[in-house]
């Protein structure tokens, strides 16, 4: 009886540790690259209005990562490690804290997956990767 109990007990531990390592695997997001994942979207969807010569009233330029980090009228749009409070993420979602949802003047807003890429890249430290 005692040994049956140990077998069940050990089986339970093995099962539980297996389950947690599985869980870790599924919540860990793959690394998002600025140059391969984020910048191609910026180039196509944002740069037409946010270039150095755009005369955009927001004063935000997105030609390079350092332009983007500097930000525009409302200050730094990126808070590294905190995608949710970063203006850059808030502005590409519905009901931004000021002005309109980006990109402006189109019904084709960014997809949920694209918004998630921006957010994850910032959550992972907004690196020049
Ligand atoms: C059709 C032109 C246009 C496009 C395309 C566009 N923007 Fe904008 N953007 C503006 C204008 C005009 C403003 C100022 C008004 C406002 O904030 O709604 C602005 C403001 C912003 C601001 C606020 C900056 C500040 O400090 O005030 C952010 C952040 C921003 N845009 C990000 C983006 C991103 C990211 C994209 C691409 C996904 C994008 N924009 C595409 C025209 C555009």
Residue length of the chain? 129
Q: Residue 4 pLDDT > 70, yes or no?
A: no
Q: What pLDDT is recorded for position 27?
A: 73
Question: In this predicted model, which residue has the larger pLDDT, 1 or 116?
Answer: 116
Ligand 1 nearest atom to the CA of residue 42, by list position: 37
Alpha carbon separation from 125 to 41, 82, 85, 87 (Å, rounded): 19, 8, 13, 15
Q: Residue 20 pLDDT > 60, yes or no?
A: no
Question: How far away, in angstroms, is 55 Cα from ligand 1 center?
Answer: 12
Q: Which of 56, 94, 84 is nearest to 72 (CA)?
A: 56
Q: What is the pLDDT of residues 78-88, one digit of tens each?
A: 999 999 999 99
Pocket of ligand 1, beta carbon within 6 A = 45-46, 48-50, 56-58, 60, 71-74, 77, 87-88, 91-92, 98-100, 102-105, 110
The span from the CA of 23 to the CA of 10, in Å, is 20
Q: What is the pLDDT of residues 22-44, one digit of tens each?
A: 555 557 889 999 999 999 999 99
Q: Which of 35, 114, 27 is nearest to 102 (CA)?
A: 114
């Amino acid at each position: 009886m005692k040994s049956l109990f140990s077998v069940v007990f050990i089986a339970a531990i093995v099962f539980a540790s297996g389950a947690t390592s599985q869980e870790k695997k599924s919540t860990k997001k793959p690394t998002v690259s600025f140059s391969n994942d984020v910048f191609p979207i910026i180039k196509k969807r944002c740069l037409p209005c946010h270039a150095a010569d755009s005369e955009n009233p927001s004063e935000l330029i997105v030609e390079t990562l350092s332009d983007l980090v500097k930000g525009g009228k409302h200050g730094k749009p990126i808070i590294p490690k905190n995608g949710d409070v970063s203006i850059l993420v808030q502005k590409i979602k519905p009901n931004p804290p000021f002005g309109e949802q980006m990109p402006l003047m189109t019904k084709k807003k960014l997809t949920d997956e694209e918004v998630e890429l921006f957010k994850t890249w910032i959550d992972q430290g907004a690196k020049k990767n």
